[in-house]
């Protein structure tokens, strides 16, 4: 699951900030390694892995066959299929190292969201290369990283690379369904086969990178935290009566007035290590008041309230990563056209900052409603998750690799407002980082939407970036 592609670029253009001048490599004849990657990528995206009719087990077996053909032994390839769920299989593969250091986990999910042929310009389950783009469902989310990891493991094996730690590849099911699926691959592996993926740290989706429409890279992100989703039901009750005799005490009006008060409420701004780093490293990309406010927010201590208030109006993303947010998303009331409403309900979805007590979020909602007649009931169980620390070894490796390929491009730590499977790893004590080197332009934010696409040169750029990054983190030679 990916969110936010093109956001920073759009903001930079809107405030007239300078854009870096590094370029993705120009198109040219594909190398043998790129040719293999394209073959794997095509095979993977053309296996339907939707929840309704798809099969991640088939995709896992296809990738296992690729690795076996590339020199991996059967003992280093595990197809894990949960009992009773034959279409929800996972692949765990291992390139053995010297054991001098704990393993590095390379995670990507095999499942994709639904896509209907009649809605798309092209068949969503056929890889189409057209005008410098690869089109297909999963071409970005997340089969690009899955194919890259498979191709790079084969490349390492062919080269005789001997890392200081095992490199573990996990290609998993049901990321798109998250906690709602009993077959989510990461949670299943952690519960039943943890030894297979036990590692010191993990690389996953969620970071990404941004470039201009002309193909100039702007920044590369390292996702190290996610907000926490939790929902609440707001409800009013009333004896009701005949609509021909209205009264002042109306359940719908009562709830509406509470929601109006609630809409004006803001949680206080709070930064963690990740969001502090985001504003600190993003400020040089901007000019004028936006840059000044970013520096003011990122000063030591609590964020400057006036600066935070101004940034919150620049873009919803800035507001969302600075504070817990809650918003009404559903509304219903009454039971008949000719009757006074006996009940009115609203659904409020909150995205809490990591570490924010959920009870405190509920108390803030109650306070903002300012009406004891409106009950507030938590309706979902949140997947609490703390940020991964910005490890110097990880950040230095990402920065060095980025500089070698795209000089002058900043590396920006970020916190997702959406969710990935990294939260399950973090809760299990495995620090996880979203980083891919896959640059998308402002028109490429199509994951989960129509005509999903990946720039051809971005796929090959991410291929080389992850090849180098994993070798730096893996050590050895």
At 1 the pLDDT is 58
Alpha-carbon distance of 208 to 205, in angstroms, equals 7
What SS3 state is found at 317?
helix
Whether domain 228-378 has CATH 3.30.70.360: the reply is yes
Give phi and psi for 177, each to the nearest 5: -90, -15
Alpha-carbon distance of 132 to 458, in angstroms, equals 10
pLDDT single digits (tens) 128-177: 999 999 999 999 999 999 999 999 999 999 999 999 999 999 999 999 99
pLDDT at 16 over 70: no
User: In this structure, what token pair is assigned to residue 369?
Assistant: 């409603």
To 10 degrees, what angle do helices 32-45 and 56-69 make?
A: 160
Q: Where are the domains of the chain?
A: 7-225+387-474, 228-378
Sheet holding 325-333, edge to edge: 325-333, 343-352, 228-237, 375-378
Distance from the first to the final alpha carbon of the chain = 33
pLDDT at 13 over 60: no
> What is 7-225+387-474's CATH superfamily?
Zn peptidases (3.40.630.10)
Q: What is the mean pLDDT of the chain?
A: 94
At 24 the pLDDT is 67
Model-wide pTM > 0.95: no
pLDDT category, 449, cuts 50, 70, 90? Answer: confident
User: In this structure, what token pair is assigned to residue 462?
Assistant: 């991410």
pLDDT single digits (tens) 251-295: 999 999 999 999 999 999 999 999 999 999 999 999 999 999 999
At 9 the pLDDT is 59
pLDDT at 388 over 70: yes
pLDDT single digits (tens) 233-260: 999 999 999 999 999 999 999 999 999 9
Helix (H) / strand (E) element for 462: namely helix 456-474
pLDDT at 198 over 80: yes
pLDDT category, 477, cuts 50, 70, 90? Answer: confident
Q: What percent of the chain clears pLDDT 90, i.e. is strictly above it?
A: 88
Alpha-carbon distance of 106 to 203, in angstroms, equals 5
pLDDT at 25 over 80: no
User: Is the alpha carbon torsion for 151, 153, 155, 158 positive or negative?
Assistant: negative
Residues 6+ apart with CB under 8 A from 16: 287
At 51 the pLDDT is 97
């Amino acid at each position: 699951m990916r969110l936010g592609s093109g956001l920073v670029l759009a903001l930079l253009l809107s405030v007239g900030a300078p854009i870096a001048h590094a370029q993705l490599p120009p198109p040219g004849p594909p190398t043998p390694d790129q040719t293999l990657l394209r073959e794997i990528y095509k095979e993977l995206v053309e296996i339907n892995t939707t929840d309704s009719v798809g099969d991640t087990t088939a995709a896992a077996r296809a990738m296992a066959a690729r690795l076996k053909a590339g020199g991996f032994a059967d003992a280093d390839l595990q197809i894990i299929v949960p009992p009773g769920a034959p279409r929800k299989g996972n692949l765990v593969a291992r390139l053995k190292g010297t054991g001098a250091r704990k393993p590095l986990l390379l995670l990507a999910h095999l499942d994709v969201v639904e896509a209907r042929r009649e809605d798309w310009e092209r068949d969503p389950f056929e890889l189409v290369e057209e005008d410098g783009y690869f089109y297909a469902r999963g071409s970005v989310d997340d089969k690009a990283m899955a194919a890259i990891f498979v191709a790079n493991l084969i490349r390492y094996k062919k080269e005789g690379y001997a890392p200081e730690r095992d490199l573990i590849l996990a290609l998993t099911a049901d990321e798109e369904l998250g906690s709602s699926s009993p077959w989510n691959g990461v949670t299943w592996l952690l519960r039943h086969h943890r030894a297979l993926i036990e590692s010191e740290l993990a690389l996953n989706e969620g970071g990404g990178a941004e470039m201009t429409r002309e193909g100039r890279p702007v920044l590369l992100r390292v996702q190290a935290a996610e907000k926490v989703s939790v929902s609440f039901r707001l409800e009013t009750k009333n004896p009701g009566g005949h609509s021909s005799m209205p009264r002042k005490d109306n359940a719908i009006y009562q709830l509406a007035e509470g929601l109006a008060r609630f809409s004006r409420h803001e949680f206080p701004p709070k930064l963690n290590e990740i969001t502090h780093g985001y504003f600190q490293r993003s400020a040089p990309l901007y000019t004028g008041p936006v840059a000044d406010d970013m520096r003011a927010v990122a000063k030591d201590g609590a964020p400057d309230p006036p600066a935070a208030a101004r940034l919150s109006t620049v873009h919803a993303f800035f507001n969302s990563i600075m504070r817990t947010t809650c918003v009404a998303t559903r509304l219903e009331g009454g039971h008949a056209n000719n009757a006074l409403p006996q009940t009115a309900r609203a659904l409020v979805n909150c995205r809490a900052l990591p570490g924010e007590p959920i009870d405190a979020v509920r108390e803030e909602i109650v306070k903002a409603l300012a009406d004891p007649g409106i009950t507030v009931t938590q309706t979902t169980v949140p997947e609490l998750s703390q940020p991964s620390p910005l490890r110097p070894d990880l950040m230095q490796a990402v920065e060095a690799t980025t500089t070698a390929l795209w000089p002058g491009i900043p590396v920006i730590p970020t916190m997702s407002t959406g969710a990935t499977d990294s939260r399950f790893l973090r809760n299990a004590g495995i620090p996880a980082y979203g980083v891919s080197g896959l640059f998308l332009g402002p028109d490429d934010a199509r994951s989960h939407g129509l005509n999903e696409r990946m720039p051809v040169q971005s796929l090959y750029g991410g291929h080389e970036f992850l090849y180098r990054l994993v070798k730096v983190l893996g050590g050895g030679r």
